[in-house]
A and B are shown apart, each in its own frame.
Chain A
Amino acid sequence: MEAATLPPLEEMDETTRDEIETSVAKWKDAEGNLIMILHEIQNRHGYVPRASSLLLAREMNIPLARIYEVLTFYHYFRLVPQGDHNITVCNGTACYLKGSGRLLSELEKQLGIKDGETTEDRMFHLETVRCIGCCGMAPALVVDKKTIGKNSPMDIPPILEKIRQQEKTHEDQ
């Protein structure tokens, strides 16, 4: 279908435009390119901004609905930015058996958010993954890309406190 009348090009900021044009140029001739381009966008921003999707729809001459059908189907894609600190609970079988569920509920309780959500101040983002491959360290957490193994719910408050302290010193500086 002909790309519909979208908001005028000038309103999009230039970096977004450049990014999309580069990605589309790179993948234009490759078959099965949509998901690959969406990955590139997410890698750049940490999520897929709406403006990028709108531009992509125009550049690729596909309906926006096509893009959103894909974006919302796959759990990997995010439509909102993540928090400053990401806490991932491994929910692979080994971690599950060894109590990842209790880690998750403790985190949910402490942060006041549910799995997949971000705190209002955007400081913490909480999510679960299927398996990070450290079954020997079960139950495992990944806090800002660092794996912490053999956790119990009691370990959660100090971990969060440490991050909050760091943020505070940052602010004070």
Chain B
Amino acid sequence: MKTNDPLQELARLASENKPETFEQWLRIGMDSGGIAAGAERLLSACRKLVEDHNLPCEIQKSGSYGYAYLDPLVEIKSKSLPPVLYGRVTPEKVSSVTLDHLSAEKLADDHIIASRQYGTALTDPTQSILVLDTSCEEGDKTKFFQSSFQDEIASKLPDSSLSVVRALDMGIYHEGLVVQLLPSRVTYTNVLSRDISRIVTTSLGENKVLKDLLWTKPDPQCRIVLRNCGLLDPEHLGEALARGTYRGLAKALAKNSPDEAIREIEESGLRGRGGAGFPTGLKWKLTREPKADRKFVICNADEGDPGAFMDRSILEGDPHAVLEGLLIAGYAVGANKGYFYVRAEYPLAIQRIQKALEDARQCGLLGENILGSGWSFDAEIRLGAGAFVCGEETALIASIEGCRGSPSPRPPYPSVEGLWGYPTCINNVETLAAAPWILDHGAEAYAQHGTGSSRGTKVFAVTGKVQNAQLVEVPMGTSVHEIIYPICGGVQDQAHIKGVQTGGPSGGIIPENKLETPVTYENLMQLGSIMGSGGMLVMDERDCMVDVAAFYLKFCVDESCGKCAPCRVGGYQMLQLLLKITRGRGSVEDIKQIERICQSMQKASLCGLGQTAANPILSTLRYFRDEYIAYIEGGTAYARKRKKLLSQGESLQQAS
């Protein structure tokens, strides 16, 4: 076998597959969320538009930025402006937005999503101004400020062609009127009417920054795993290569022995992002150690937590990064075969992984003699079929083997006896997407983020009663409060927050008074919750905790494999008790029984699903026991009243 330097080989591949550059382009966020919000109709509308008007514009597809609340997204690049991201673009509106932007370079009101990178220096003269009232008080003042600015500019700078545009989202919340100058991205917050003339004279006229209004806080987000999501066409290998994908693999193949690659991951402090947080480097090491004819690596893409969609977004937005991670894992543990175990409910992700595998195989990034290194590895897709429990490693293995996805007792651990009895390493999508970055940038670069034994970044899917439901990637140790308020804009309808559920059906609730806690594996555990895969469900005062506990428990009951009695019967019986309580027919004795069942499930269930299924109940009992008691003491009358209030969407506190 002829071997080459993998790095040179990668450079050759990158130049051969270099993506064409276009002066004008339009990119539509074609992830599942975007498509559900109408991105496909958007795409055909754009195609028609380009054809009808003979526009010199390339139409491209991308994954998701993660701004679920702003779907569908369109990014437009015209001749002289930097790319501009538009959100909530309906198929009806897309034609006028695009035409105005491309032919007249006129920005559309109420659709622009400002970049999260805020400038601090006015280098280039300002071309446009974005304005948005973020105070969320009664009466949106954005329009008023827009015309005030226009008037001021007309009077002070009559020759200017500056446009003032109402933005859709600035990434800054509860900071009054926010103004961003483009292209410098200098951003002013809490702008008052009296500041307008200052801004026009000083910043626009003299190109000087107003220090007192300047927004200097750095973006709290840190996109390592989501580094490419939304920025490239996931079905285009060339674009991935251009953004440095497979560089981590090439470096490992060229410079690191498998043991060194493992050490790099160990030193980075990366822990499994699927839920339990087992150190990834150690997992690789344990799989590397046993001697065996064959070994396997598996990418666990059976994301099943209700409300978690980070894995899907990564697979849909940057499949090559995950494949690269799987390759690195394979190289490190000594496997020559890998599987993507993907939820069948994710057809788009499946399609994109399939494309990534084919393209990679074609270019010698997969198959025999990868990047000329002499090392061979191949990967295939295996589909899940709707079983949450298959996220559990032994169940996942059973499922790939074509059996019922029932877990088996451990030991033996998969690292010793896994798929078809061979040592097997299973990593979650997010974990695998982080690994290439670590090998490319070094363990230290990754470990500098985070705190204590929780290093690096974590992606969260924030949903529920939050203003802006979206994907967020922050360094470990960021507080829940910071995620919910500055990043996601706080609670909807200005309602009062009650708590945040983390860890999905295996997790618990962080009550309002604990929101400042930095998010780490240990801290969450101490609060009676877990990191889980990274779902965060924001609940306001109108949400009933007993209901929420029952929702999660019902999920676990539906998803119990039925193999072991504590989980199968325990979950079911406990759900009946919870429903009895929410119907106002419960007794204090029922709570005692619930606690007993919880103990049996935690201690005697065979797998993680059963052992943790009680967490949402224990957690709500710990922080919101009074709600249970209210149902019990208030009886049916209270339950009816409560249900009525919930369905009317009124605040309980207002009512009482």
Contact = CB atoms under 8 A, between A and B. Distances in A.
B498 to A, nearest CB: 11
A122 interface: no
A70 interface: yes
Interface residues of B, number: 51
Interface stretch (A13-21, A135-143, A156-164): A135-143
A32 to B, nearest CB: 4
B345 A135 contact: no
Given A70-B403, A70-B404, A93-B307, A30 B380 contact: yes
B312 A91 contact: no
Contacts of B76: none
B646 to A, nearest CB: 9
B323 interface: no
Interface in A107-161: 129-138, 140, 142, 147, 149
Contact of A134 (B37, B539, B548): B37
Contacts of B70: 136
Given A34-B402, A133-B36, A147-B36, A92 B385 contact: no
A134 B32 CA distance: 8
Contacts of A51: none
Contacts of A91: 306
Contact of B345 (A32, A93, A129, A136): A129
Given A94-B463, A96-B551, A137-B37, A35 B647 contact: no
A36 B382 contact: yes
A131 B71 contact: no
B537 interface: yes
Contacts of B71: 134, 136-137
Contact of A133 (B312, B344, B405, B539): B312
Given A75-B386, A92-B463, A102-B647, A133 B402 contact: no
Best-surrounded residue of A73, A140, A147 (most CB of chain B within 10 A): A73
Best-surrounded residue of B307, B386, B404, B539 (most CB of chain A within 10 A): B307
B385 A96 contact: no
Nearest to A100: B551
A38 B402 CA distance: 10
Given A136-B33, A136-B70, A136-B469, A97 B385 contact: no
A97 B495 CA distance: 14
Interface residues of A, number: 39
Contacts of B36: 132-134, 137, 140, 142, 147
Contact of B344 (A39, A93, A102): A39
B536 to A, nearest CB: 9
Contacts of B86: none
A73 B387 contact: yes
B590 interface: no
A93 B463 contact: yes
A136 B69 contact: yes
A73 B464 CA distance: 30
Interface in B410-466: 420, 461, 463-465
B401 interface: yes
Given A30-B380, A136-B37, A147-B37, A131 B308 contact: yes
Interface string B516-557: 000000000000000000010101000100001001000100
Interface of A: 30-36, 38-39, 69-70, 73-77, 91-94, 96-99, 102, 129-138, 140, 142, 147, 149
